[in-house]
Amino acid sequence: MGVDGIGARAVRKEDKRFITGKGRYTDDMTAQGMGYAAFVRSPHAHAKVVSIDSSAAEDMPGVDAVLTGEQLVGDGIGNLICGWMIHSKDGSPMNMGAWRAMEPEIVRFVGQAVAVVIADTAAQARDAADAVVVEYEELDAIVDAVAAMEDGAPQLHPEAPNNLIYDWEIGDEAAVNAAFEGAAHVTKMEITNNRLAPNPMEPRAALAIYDTAEEHFTLYTTSQNPHVARLVLSAFYAVAPEHKLRVIAPDVGGGFGSKIYIYPEEMVCLWASKRTERPVKWVSDRTEAFLTDAHGRDHNSVAEMALDADNKITGLRVKTVANLGAYMSLFSSSVPTYLYATLLSGQYNIPAIHANVKAVYTNTVPVDAYRGAGRPEATYLLERMMETAAREVGLSPAELRRKNFITEFPHQTPVIMCYDAGDYSATLDAAMAAIDYDGFAARKAEAASRGKLRGIGLSCYIEACGIAPSAAVGSLGAGVGLWESAEVRVNPVGTIEVLTGSHSHGQGHETTFAQLISERFGLDTDAVSIVHGDTDKVQFGMGTYGSRSGAVGMSAIVKALDKVEAKAKKIAAHLMEAAEGDITIEGGELKVAGTDKKLTFTEVALAAYTAHNLPDGMEPGLKEGAFYDPTNFTFPAGTYICEVEVDPETGTTDIISFVASDDFGKIINPMIVEGQVHGGLTQGIGQAMLENAAYDDTGQLLTASYMDYCMPRADDLPAEYRLSTHETLCPGNPLGMKGCGEAGAIGSPPAVINAITDAIGSNDLSMPATPEKVWQLCQTTTKAAAE
Amino acid sequence: MYETNYHRAGSVADAAALLAKADDGKLLSGGQTLLPTMKQRLAAPSDLVDVTKIAELKGICEDGNAISIGAATTHAEVAASDLVKQKIPGLAKLAGGIGDPAVRHMGTIGGSIANNDPAADYPSALVALNATVTTNKRTLSAEDFFTGMFETALDDDEIVTSVSFPAAAKSAYAKYPNPASRYAMAGVFVAQQADGSVRVAVTGAGQDGVFRVPEMESALASNFAPDAVAGISVSADNLLSDIHGSSAYRANLVTVMAKRAVEAAS
Ligand SMILES: Cc1cc2nc3c(=O)[nH]c(=O)nc-3n(C[C@H](O)[C@H](O)[C@H](O)COP(=O)(O)OP(=O)(O)OC[C@H]3O[C@@H](n4cnc5c(N)ncnc54)[C@H](O)[C@@H]3O)c2cc1C
């Protein structure tokens, strides 16, 4: 590999394993005597479970046990929880209904498990699961969140009258009302944010191993945060005490948020392993994933923006209904509140903002954080409003934005966030130059000569990463702290192991984290290994989501490195009889400045462990740990511009160009960052044009396979993404990092939709902008033009 | 997938015998439809009789003024065939646009037409080119062969052996793919015979599978130009409607694809 420090485009260390098929995923793990689990799932969106007859299934070949929700509850296994308490505006706590890992009484979404079969082979388990006879009494179902709040709608949980989970607000309503009274112009829009299925390449899986002698569990599972999984499984679900439960998240093939949560299946495997006294494995198939992985987004909003005569924004009023599905998933409550409405100020100086959010139960799979989590919803709403307002007042979309940009930092928004640093004009300028914004009119005319409608759309996004500090999020209702931990272990021969509480499931931590050590000590990245994902190896940590592993996770490593460096320098100074302050580290050596005295890093490490000659009172060894709790969120921001061509005859949209200019603060590995942006943009374009998790009125999922759920493919995307970065350092963490994992998915959907609506001259477009929807709008605009 | 017994047939007669012996046997060709259906447990044949190793079912040959394609010939072979490209370019293009490369290298023409998915591409070519389907029992015209959505005239124990396509003077296929599955939302095959007569067959859009559009056919017979069909639309009444496209949208696509097919054929 080599000495690849901060800023090097180092190739990913982990890719050899992934590309040559040597990755070790949960489904690759086996255990002696292992049985397989297959779940019996509800075909109904809402029904009473009248009876479960497992007698035929129990007699089938290879079947070990058929277990039901009644037994699970009887064994004292706890209900699934939501870890973030939200209070309604009247001060009452959110209305949470009970969620059991297998439901004994009332099923509330298609695919909910009511029983599980454990058998010798996966096929036998499946056969027997099909033979379990469940009698249901169907109830009316409701899938639309707005309709679910109406009187007379089917009720999901007795705890939540009218299916309302909370009615929450943020901001100063009176100030907003005053702004609207004095407004010169008001822009109003109804905006929906479509429902998405997360689709990581590797579906969820679990292998639970119960050791009857030690009364100890090991769980291999597809988790983004194994320690949080262990904590929740033990503290809330009472599966086992923490020290009797080891959670290992080995190689994990993507998550996008969906693997943060603790799901019923993983928990049932643990419990079933104890009941059957054998290891139990479960691997989700793709349709089970569509049916049971937490979905993302699903908002219905009405937004109003007040502008003064000078086109300065004076107020923003937002009312949002958020569909949370049939149960409250682990962090679901925080997504449409503190991860959403706190970003409604965008990159703009908006003196007054008020948002009201109603979260609602429906007979659909639970909805929780998905790449971006709340910030894409805020960005989509605000950036469509900006484009629409610009069109209405007759300003160019860039100019309206520029006029309202925040230019001084720190900037306190009216919705909690205090932005620390940024330069929004710089990223806007860079993106406009990259796409040759000034040449657009000529390109549009040329396209028109070919019968094509060309459009251009902007999105100036801001988002918040590294949710923190812990005390602040605690005061907002979070059930956990959001710091990160690290331990840097220097081995006696000078190689280094870094134990991080964050978790890599595609992000490339094994490379970027190693670059940090390479930079600090001048060591080869091959001399560093990154250890993560095993609660028996690594100290407690919070895992990876919310683009936090750089800004928070690496900051913890930096803190631990500081301590290691200080101790190494003390040892070196002692051995070379120099002053500690004169020791410098360079190219893997500790040197006495101004002399030719030096020791290799290995020699110092060895000295620390032989402990034959250490400074007085110094403990042997070279190993330091640190916990890092940030002082603020970080605020990545940038401008995306999309240029499209629409074929009015079919409604087909081609993305001709897509440019992104991002401010991620300090970048460790530009290649990996670009990869993150490519993936994020692709998911954002997918949301804007292709993806939609659709239920019919009875609660059947219409998009339970790739025949109907439209994932973006290479030929749906522009030939290239043109990326650039502009760096303003984040003052809140030692490296100045902001985070890049979600920005692409956050910023891109409004750029795409703004471009299409620009092309077709109609603003009435919702995501996904399918060919049919676009064609229909083209019909109306052509008709209107003819009249 | 349920357990099943796999047999490799050496000849058509062998396949027929194996099928007759089986409890609930099914022919297996490229497996691109049958195997996914079995994996989803929507089909549970007791026996699978693989026809892809039967020499007489494979290959493409010239047969007078027609091209005969063996039932077990893959889409990739049809797409790459110089003979097909030269005599019926629309057919080669159609085969090259089915699914993805993996599907095209496994899936076969016999399997495709026996399945008669309303969104499959081949049925439009068979009907527009007035192809004949030969089985181990008889010969049928394409229009008699396709009888409705996932329905054909085949008996349970009948095996498609080849399809014969008379060469056309002009032919082209225009397909608007379903964004998710990439099957046809509307696919239009246009073929003009040497005598100037024209057939227009539509797949992907009809509730009963492939259908012809007589109005377009007569318009094109007198003027084989895109404009001739631009103003002709099919009724949305008997068209498919789903989350990807309403029947009205599909009706529009039929007109647009017909126009583009004629343009490509001219
Ligand atoms: C991802 C994917 C994308 C696809 N996209 C398209 C597309 O865009 N357009 C399109 O048209 N198709 C598409 N297909 C379907 C593909 O073309 C299949 O190859 C075809 O539908 C079935 O052919 P097969 O050879 O695989 O048949 P099999 O799956 O083996 O068999 C299908 C049926 O035909 C029967 N059968 C097979 N051979 C014979 C025979 N000789 N005589 C009588 N009955 C027989 C079988 O018993 C079975 O019932 C796609 C498939 C996949 C998996």
Q: pLDDT tens track of chain B, all 266 residues?
A: 888 999 999 999 999 999 999 999 999 999 999 999 999 999 999 999 999 999 999 999 999 999 999 999 999 999 999 999 999 999 999 999 999 999 999 999 999 999 999 999 999 999 999 999 999 999 999 999 999 999 999 999 999 999 999 999 999 999 999 999 999 999 999 999 999 999 999 999 999 999 999 999 999 999 999 999 999 999 999 999 999 999 999 999 999 999 999 999 98
In this structure, are A624 and A648 located in the same domain?
A: no
In this structure, are A341 and A430 located in the same domain?
A: yes
Last residue of a domain, one of A282, A316, A335: A282
HSE-up (13 A, CA, CB side) for residue A461: 36
In this structure, are A655 and A761 located in the same domain?
A: yes
> What is the distance between the alpha carbons of residues A166 and A153, in angstroms, rounded to a whole number?
17
CA B67 to ligand 1 centroid distance, Å: 21
Tally Cβ neighbours within 10 Å of residue A90: 8
What pLDDT is recorded for position A781? 81
- In a mutational test of the A interface, the residue from B117, B181, B255 whose CB has the highest number of chain A CBs within 10 Å is B181
Q: Please choose from B19, B26, B33, B175 the residue to mutate so as to test ligand 1's pocket, defined by most ligand atoms within 8 A of CB.
A: B33
A709 reaches B (C-beta below 8 A): yes
Is A357 part of a structural domain of the chain? yes
**CB A775 to CB B180 under 8 A?**
no
Is A235 part of a structural domain of the chain? yes
A302 reaches B (C-beta below 8 A): no
Reported confidence tier of residue A469, pLDDT bands at 50, 70, 90: confident
Q: Which fold has domain B5-50?
A: 3.30.43
In this structure, are A550 and A432 located in the same domain?
A: no
Is A3 part of a structural domain of the chain? no
Alpha helices in A549-669 (DSSP H): 555-575, 601-610
Burial string for A353-367 (b: 16+ CB within 10 Å, else e) reads bbbbbbbbbbbbbbb
Q: Evaluate if residue A784 carries a pLDDT over 80.
A: no
Question: Closest ligand 1 atom, CA of B159?
Answer: 42
Summarised one tens digit per residue, pLDDT across range A384-406 is: 999 999 999 999 999 999 999 99
- pTM of the entire predicted model: 0.97
CA B60 to ligand 1 centroid distance, Å: 18
CA B245 to ligand 1 centroid distance, Å: 23
**CB A650 to CB B176 under 8 A?**
yes
**CB A708 to CB B176 under 8 A?**
no
The DSSP code for B61 is E
Chain B positions in Cβ-Cβ contact with residue A775 (cut-off 8 Å): 249, 252
Alpha helices in A246-344 (DSSP H): 264-276, 286-292
Question: Closest ligand 1 atom, CA of B107?
Answer: 19
Structure tokens that stand for A541 in this block: 């940590």
Structurally, how many domains does chain A consist of? Answer: 3
In this structure, are A124 and A261 located in the same domain?
A: yes
> What is the distance between the alpha carbons of residues A771 and B251, in angstroms, rounded to a whole number?
14
Summarised one tens digit per residue, pLDDT across range A237-296 is: 989 999 999 999 999 999 999 999 999 999 999 999 999 999 999 999 999 999 999 999
CATH number for the domain harbouring residue A528 = 3.30.365.10
Which chain B residue lies closest to A648 (C-alpha atoms)?
B256
Per the listing, tokens 């949002």 go with A320
* Contact between residue A585 and residue A603 where contact means Cβ atoms under 8 Å apart: no
Q: Which fold has domain B62-266?
A: 3.30.465
In this structure, are A226 and A341 located in the same domain?
A: no
For A:488-547, CB contacts with B below 8 A are: none
pLDDT > 90: percent of chain A: 96
A757 reaches B (C-beta below 8 A): no
Interchain CB contacts (distance < 8 Å): A and B: 46
Kindly state the greatest CA–CA separation across chain A.
94
Summarised one tens digit per residue, pLDDT across range A70-104 is: 999 999 999 999 999 999 999 999 999 999 999 99
Is A144 part of a structural domain of the chain? no
**Residues near B195 by beta carbon (within 8 Å), at least 6 away in sequence:** none
- In a mutational test of the B interface, the residue from A286, A291, A646, A710 whose CB has the highest number of chain B CBs within 10 Å is A710
CA B56 to ligand 1 centroid distance, Å: 19
What pLDDT is recorded for position A48? 98
In this structure, are A655 and A606 located in the same domain?
A: no
Structure tokens that stand for A544 in this block: 């990876």
Summarised one tens digit per residue, pLDDT across range A288-318 is: 999 999 999 999 999 999 999 999 999 999 9
Report the gap between the CA of B20 and the closest CA in chain A (Å).
Answer: 27
Summarised one tens digit per residue, pLDDT across range A738-749 is: 999 999 999 999
Structure tokens that stand for A645 in this block: 């061509």
Give the closest residue (by CA) to ligand 1 atom 53: B32
**CB B1 to CB A690 under 8 A?**
no
Q: What radius of gyration, in Å, describes the C-alpha atoms of chain A?
A: 27
CA B75 to ligand 1 centroid distance, Å: 10
End-to-end CA distance of chain A: 67
Give the closest residue (by CA) to ligand 1 atom 6: B99
Residue in B1, B244, B253 closest to A650 by CB: B253
Q: Please choose from B103, B113, B133, B146 the residue to mutate so as to test ligand 1's pocket, defined by most ligand atoms within 8 A of CB.
A: B103
**CB A703 to CB B243 under 8 A?**
yes
Residue in A649, A708, A710 closest to B256 by CB: A649
For chain B, domain boundaries: 5-50, 62-266
Last residue of a domain, one of A578, A610, A628: A628
* Contact between residue B255 and residue B230 where contact means Cβ atoms under 8 Å apart: yes
CA B54 to ligand 1 centroid distance, Å: 17
In this structure, are A318 and A453 located in the same domain?
A: yes
Last residue of a domain, one of A610, A628, A646: A628
> What is the distance between the alpha carbons of residues A582 and A563, in angstroms, rounded to a whole number?
17
CA B118 to ligand 1 centroid distance, Å: 12
Is A160 part of a structural domain of the chain? no
Question: Closest ligand 1 atom, CA of B182?
Answer: 8
- In a mutational test of the A interface, the residue from B42, B183, B252 whose CB has the highest number of chain A CBs within 10 Å is B252
In this structure, are A517 and A598 located in the same domain?
A: yes
- What's the domain range around A449? 296-467+632-786
What pLDDT is recorded for position A1? 58
In this structure, are A777 and A738 located in the same domain?
A: yes
In this structure, are A699 and A609 located in the same domain?
A: no
Cα–Cα distances (Å) from B23 to A382, A478, B46, in that order, read 63, 61, 6
Chain A positions in Cβ-Cβ contact with residue B42 (cut-off 8 Å): none
In this structure, are A39 and A117 located in the same domain?
A: yes
Give the closest residue (by CA) to ligand 1 atom 51: B32
CATH number for the domain harbouring residue A67 = 3.90.1170.50
**Residues near A75 by beta carbon (within 8 Å), at least 6 away in sequence:** A271, A275
Q: Which residues of B touch A (CB under 8 A)?
A: 1-3, 40-41, 176, 179-181, 243-246, 249, 252-253, 256
CA A756 to ligand 1 centroid distance, Å: 37
**CB A123 to CB B3 under 8 A?**
yes
Summarised one tens digit per residue, pLDDT across range A678-715 is: 999 999 999 999 999 999 999 999 999 999 999 999 99
Pocket lined around ligand 1, Cβ cut-off 6 Å:
B 26-34, 36, 51, 71, 98-99, 103, 107-108, 110-112, 114-115, 117, 120-122, 154, 159-160, 182-183
